[in-house]
Amino acid sequence: MMADTVTALILAAGKGTRMHSNRPKVLQTLLGEPMLEYVYRALEPAFGERIFTVVGFGAEQVESAFPERASNFVLQKEQLGTGHALQEAWESVQKTGAGYCLVINGDTPLATTEAVERLAAQAGRADVAFMTITPQDPASFGRVVRDDSGRILAIVEAKDYDHATHGPVTGEVNAGVYLLRMDSVGQLLDGLRAENNSGEYYITDLVAMAVEQGMTVEGVTCGADVNLMGINSPRELIDAEKTLRRRIVDGLIDEGVMIHNPDTVIIGPRVTVEPGAELFGHVEIYGESVVRAGSVLNSYTWITDSSFAPGCVVRQFCHVEQAEVGPDCVVGPYARLRPGAVLRKGAKVGNFVEMKKAELGEGAKASHLTYLGDAVVGAGSNIGAGTITCNYDGKNKFITTIGEGAFIGSNTALVAPVTVGRDALVGAGSTITKDVPDEGTAIGRAKQLNLKRRMKKS
């Protein structure tokens, strides 16, 4: 066994009754990501692929959210407490050959890599080590019991704490992150008992058991660092989300991103924003979005899984989802880019224009009140206001192709599948059902008929 090698184990089997949701607690989201995602992100730099997860309530949902990690999932069929979860996972952890196991709860999205590495550094120094904090409100967290010399004796759950037996409350509580020597703790697991007010097997009981066996027990104190405290209610989740949002925004500002009105900017943890980008308040960016240096994103815009090249400007009140905005493009205001929308260099999408699975070529324009769905628009083309690509016949979707330099007049309906050739002109108000040749002109509307107006007699 590799004595100083540490494997991580996340306890993520609980329902989270106080969240009042049918989703497992670890799938509740902060900044658009499940809280369990944040725990993985904190552990990965230190443990790589040596991370196991105990799942239980809603296990299928958790596996669906993290399919790439499912091979390291351990199922806790009955949720009988943290100690029972550890028992269920012990065999899997043992097979890694690691000397230690770091255990952390899956409801701690504010935990940092630095914190878990600090505890992991105790490998080789203790049989059982755990992190302690001294928050202003100890709430329902397990109380740390020490003797007069400061030696740790036990962790006692709040509902089981007896002042006569355990002494006065000191305010020091268990943060719920443990480092366990495999050889030592393996001897104790079968001795866990559910003899408490909750009728559950507590991982915290291992501390007193280790003390009784003469093992080395250490508490790694973290002061008032509430980042290690778990989330148990909607209010705690909201407070944690505020902390995460501020942490991300402040970090980007320090790296050189210009963020105006930063208190109203929301950026997810997987978003990349390069130094030199400029963001204005009340913008939200989620998913795998990438914002390159020199791009400008204005207020009241919602973005997910999209990319923005240098020199592009997204004006106010836009919705951008799974789209690609190229260099020097202009989007909006009030534009909607749906999945598959691509703007090539210098393209322009104006107010109340919607694109879906469509490409706007280099320098092409769709400035007003237009829908481009399942379409390819050539470079330099101009799409007049009110143009619609009629891409759906009720059963299937078809492509509209518009050549380079084409001019589409206002209020045109292009009934796909149809091709408008290079440098072609389509008259305003046309319904185009047949291909238009290169440099051709197409008008598809009824002949105007003027009749004498019949006036009502007074």
Per-residue pLDDT reduced to its tens digit, 115-144: 999 999 988 889 999 999 888 777 677 888
pTM (2 d.p.): 0.89
Residues 196-214 have a mean pLDDT of 90
User: For residue 330, what pLDDT band results from cuts at 50, 70 and 90?
Assistant: very high
Question: What is the bridge-based pairing of β-strands 400-402 and 418-420?
Answer: parallel
For the chain, domains (ranges, CATH) are 2-228 (3.90.550.10), 234-442 (2.160.10.10)
Q: Is the pLDDT of residue 418 over 80?
A: yes
Among the ranges given (195-204, 207-216, 260-269, 376-385), the one the predictor scored with the smallest mean pLDDT: 195-204
Q: Was 430 annotated as part of a binding site?
A: no
Name, in order, each residue with C-beta under 8 angstroms of 450's C-beta and a sequence gap of 6 or more.
Answer: none
Pairing label, strands 258-259, 143-146? unpaired
| β-pair partners for 125 | none
- CA distances in angstroms from 439 to 150, 383, 423, 436, listed in the order given: 89, 16, 5, 8
Q: Does 279 appear as a known binding residue? A: no
Task: Please give the Cα distance from 130 to 153 (Å, whole number).
Answer: 13
84 labelled catalytic: no
Whether the pLDDT of residue 199 is over 90: the answer is no
CA distance 389 to 391: 6
Say which residue, 316 or 166, is predicted with more confidence: 316
3-state class (DSSP) for residue 262: helix
Is 107 known as a binding-site position?
A: yes
Coil, strand or helix at 96: coil
- Is 381 labeled as ligand-binding? no
Tell me, what's the pLDDT at 9? Answer: 98
Q: Is 191 annotated as a binding residue?
A: no
Q: How confident is the model at residue 1 (pLDDT cuts 50, 70, 90)?
A: very low
Over the stretch 55-74, which tens digit does the pLDDT of each residue have? 999 999 999 999 999 999 99
Angle between helices 234-255 and 35-47 (to 10 degrees): 50
Does the annotation list 218 as a binding residue?
no
Average confidence score pLDDT of the chain: 93
- Per the annotation, does 239 bind a ligand? no
User: How many angstroms separate the CA atoms of 247 and 206, rounded?
Assistant: 35
d(CA 377, CA 178): 58
Q: Is 445 annotated as a binding residue?
A: yes
CB atoms within 10 A of CB 303: 27
- Over 60: is that where the pLDDT of 2 sits? no
pLDDT digits over 338-368, tens only?
Answer: 999 999 999 999 999 999 999 999 999 999 9
**Catalytic annotation, pick one of 166, 260, 319, 368:** 368
Structure tokens at 86: 């550890």
> 3-state SS string over 373-400?
EEEEECCCCEECCCCEEECECCCCECCE
Segment 382-392 shows an average pLDDT of: 97
56 Cβ neighbours under 8 A, 6+ residues apart: 12, 13, 14, 75, 76, 77, 78, 79, 85
**Environment class of 114 (CB within 10 Å of its CB; exposed 0-12, middle 13-18, buried 19+):** exposed
The type of residue at 14 is G
The reply, when asked if residue 309 is annotated as ligand binding, is no
CA–CA gap between residue 9 and residue 52 (Å, rounded) = 5
Residue 411 scores a pLDDT above 90: yes
Residue 452, annotated as binding a ligand: no
Is 79 one of the annotated binding-site residues? no
* Average pLDDT estimate for 365-373: 97
State yes or no: 14 annotated in a binding site: yes
pLDDT at 157: 79
Cα-based angle 95, 97, 103 (whole degrees, multiple of 5): 80
Q: Residue 155: pLDDT band by 50, 70, 90 thresholds?
A: confident
pLDDT at 458: 64
Q: Is 41 assigned to a binding site? A: no
Whole-number pLDDT of residue 3: 46
Which residues, other chains included, contact 96 with Cβ-Cβ below 8 Å and sequence gap of 6+? 5, 7, 50
pLDDT digits (tens, 9 = 90+) for 428-437: 999 999 999 9
Please give the pLDDT value at position 11.
97
Q: How far apart are CA 406 and CA 402, in angstroms?
A: 7
pLDDT exceeds cutoff 60 at 46: yes
Query: Looking at the predicted structure, is the pLDDT value of residue 274 above 60?
Result: yes
pLDDT confidence of 91, banded at 50, 70, 90? very high
Query: Can you give the pLDDT at residue 230?
Result: 85
The answer to whether the CB of 274 falls within 8 A of the CB of 297 is no
Lowest mean pLDDT among 82-86, 175-179, 382-386, 448-452: 448-452
